[in-house]
């Protein structure tokens, strides 16, 4: 197969038999976020490279190895977004949202791009749902953001998730912690991978996030940040834990969580699952109080999270979470002859105006082929229009499930289908009640 007929490595087509599931999941997430006051924001898929290189962290794998960066025709360095937070922060500063009523709450759904080795749960083009909250410094804001992430996952029927939380403190906390890490990792210079040896002097925190099994094993015995928290950060973290407990939210404190981006401070968290293989984190987030000021805005506390939609879909499918059925054709209008075909189009238009899904032949097929197609697409009802029907003005509607037929005027087909659909729905409801006792 030639390149022109093949998707780019690390990308994926979402086909019609699955796309409705993605739409359902995205709509449910937006709906739940709306309950908490988060309104949707849409930002460009690319930004000036500095938006990410300066703010995501120059020492992160994302910036060093994974960004899709190019020079546009104006000679500007442009990058496809590897994540959405930095672009959202740029937007709320530029558009003045940060100067309005606080806290400002926004949410989003969008594609991201990272040059990584593709594997299950990790693509080069992937999608995220996320929320960002600006102007709230209190521990209760941390707890609310975590509660929102949890409610979204539970509302979708996600099973077997664990909430892990940590505090990575403030700049003052990390200064002493970084020195302790340098001293510890210095003893393993000959064993650490080349990348981590480079990180040792620039940003040893990144070693804790290394994917190398050897570096991971060494990092397991490294000092933990919770032993270096200042009094304020300790008090903040304690209040977050108390707020979670008060809401009945169980959690595990994991001092190894640092998150992969440099802008985080204080509370960080992840929801993980054992049902999606090595890429177990389905949601991650935390505080990034210094990012708004770093990007030129007023000093504003901020926090948020992102959910990887592809990983979430894997989790939902692996745990057999319930999905609604996709919209199916309610009425298929088969036509015999040119005049009947024109009238079939009119009947379908009337059906759609009434909010009912309807289709008719577009390929000039014979009646047998049309009926075969109606069966393949799962049409609930069919009707056939030919010369006799056009002359009499009457047609017969057939219930494809029961085989029953109903005569009516052609002009009254939408009303008849509405009536039959309502009766069918009531029967299904009665059967459900009886089967459940």
Q: Mean pLDDT check: name the lowest of 175-179, 345-349, 391-395.
A: 175-179
In this predicted model, what pLDDT tens digit does every residue of 120-171 receive, in sequence order? Answer: 767 888 999 999 999 999 999 999 999 999 999 999 988 888 999 999 998 8
> Which bin fits 297, alpha (ψ -120 to 50), beta or left (φ > 0)?
beta
Mean of pLDDT values over 264-281 = 81
Q: What single-letter DSSP state applies at residue 66?
A: I
Contact 336, 387 (CB under 8 A): yes
Given a cut of 70, whether residue 433 has pLDDT beyond it is no
Residue 201 pLDDT: 79
The tokens of 283 are what?
A: 């949601």
> Per the CATH hierarchy, to which homologous superfamily does domain 3-170+230-318 belong?
Bira Bifunctional Protein; Domain 2 (3.30.930.10)
**Dihedral angle of Cα 264, 266, 267, 272, to the nearest 10 degrees:** 50
189 half-sphere exposure, CB direction, 13 A CA radius:
7
The string of DSSP letters for 101-165 reads SSSEEEEEEEEEE-----BTTB-SEEEEEEEEEES--SHHHHHHHHHHHHHHHHHTT--SEEEEE
Mean pLDDT over residues 317-339, rounded? 91
d(CA 263, CA 243): 24
Most confident of 172-176, 251-255, 421-425: 251-255
Model confidence at 276, pLDDT cuts 50, 70, 90, reads low
CATH 3.30.930.10 segments of the chain: 3-170+230-318
- Rounded to whole angstroms, the Cα distance separating 343 from 336 reads 10
Answer yes or no: is pLDDT of 264 > 90: no
Instruction: Write the pLDDT tens digit of every residue in 14-30.
Output: 899 899 999 999 999 99
pLDDT confidence bin for 318, thresholds 50/70/90? confident
- pLDDT category at 192 given cuts 50, 70, 90 is confident
Burial 76-98 (b: 16+ CB within 10 A, else e): eebbbbbbbbbbbbbbbbeeebb
Mean pLDDT of the chain: 89
| Nearest alpha-carbon partner for 345 in 370, 363, 362 | 362
The answer to whether residues 82 and 114 touch, using CB atoms and an 8 Å cutoff, is: yes
Residues of the chain with CATH 3.40.50.800: 331-428
> For 48-57, 106-115, 180-189, 224-233, which range has the lowest pLDDT when averaged over its residues?
48-57
Tokens of 23: 């739409």
Q: What fold is seen in the domain 331-428?
A: Rossmann fold (3.40.50)
* Position 256 pLDDT exceeds 90: no
């Amino acid at each position: 197969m030639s390149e022109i007929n093949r998707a780019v490595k690390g990308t994926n087509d979402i086909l019609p038999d699955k796309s409705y599931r993605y739409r359902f999941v995205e709509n449910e997430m937006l709906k739940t976020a709306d309950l908490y006051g988060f309104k949707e924001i849409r930002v460009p898929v690319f930004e000036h490279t500095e938006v990410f290189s300066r703010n995501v962290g120059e020492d992160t794998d994302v910036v060093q190895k994974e960004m899709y960066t190019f020079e546009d025709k104006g000679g500007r360095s442009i990058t496809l977004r590897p994540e959405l937070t930095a672009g959202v922060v740029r937007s709320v500063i530029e558009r003045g949202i940060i100067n309005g009523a606080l806290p400002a709450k926004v949410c989003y759904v969008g594609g991201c791009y990272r040059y990584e080795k593709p594997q299950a749960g990790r693509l080069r083009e992937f999608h995220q749902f996320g929320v960002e909250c600006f102007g709230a410094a209190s521990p209760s804001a941390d707890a609310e953001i975590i509660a929102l992430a949890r409610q979204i996952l539970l509302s979708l029927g996600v099973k077997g998730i664990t909430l892990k939380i940590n505090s990575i403190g403030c700049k003052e906390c990390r200064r002493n912690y970084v020195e302790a890490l340098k001293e510890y990792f210095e003893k393993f210079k000959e064993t650490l991978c080349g990348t981590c040896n480079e990180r040792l002097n620039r940003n040893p925190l990144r070693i804790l996030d290394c994917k190398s099994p050897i570096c991971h094993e060494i990092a397991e015995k490294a000092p933990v940040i919770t032993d270096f928290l200042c009094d304020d950060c300790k008090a903040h973290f304690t209040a977050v834990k108390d707020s979670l407990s008060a809401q009945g939210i169980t959690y595990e404190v994991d001092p190894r969580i640092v998150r992969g981006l440099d802008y985080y401070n204080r509370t960080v968290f992840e929801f993980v699952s054992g049902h999606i293989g090595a890429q177990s984190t389905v949601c991650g987030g935390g505080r990034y109080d210094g990012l708004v000021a770093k990007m030129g805005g007023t000093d504003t506390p901020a926090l948020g999270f992102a959910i990887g939609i592809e990983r979430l879909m894997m989790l939902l499918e692996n745990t057999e979470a319930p999905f609604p059925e996709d919209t199916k054709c309610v009425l298929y209008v088969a036509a015999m002859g040119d005049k009947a075909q024109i009238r079939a189009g009119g009947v379908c238009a009337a059906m759609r105006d009434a909010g009912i899904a309807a289709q008719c032949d577009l390929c000039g097929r014979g009646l047998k082929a049309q009926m075969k197609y109606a069966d393949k697409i799962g049409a609930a009802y069919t009707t056939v229009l030919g010369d006799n029907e056009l002359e009499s003005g009457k047609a017969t509607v057939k219930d494809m499930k029961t085989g029953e037929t109903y005569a009516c005027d052609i002009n009254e087909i939408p009303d008849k289908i509405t009536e039959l659909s309502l009766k069918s729905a009531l029967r299904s409801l009665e059967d459900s009640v009886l089967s459940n006792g």
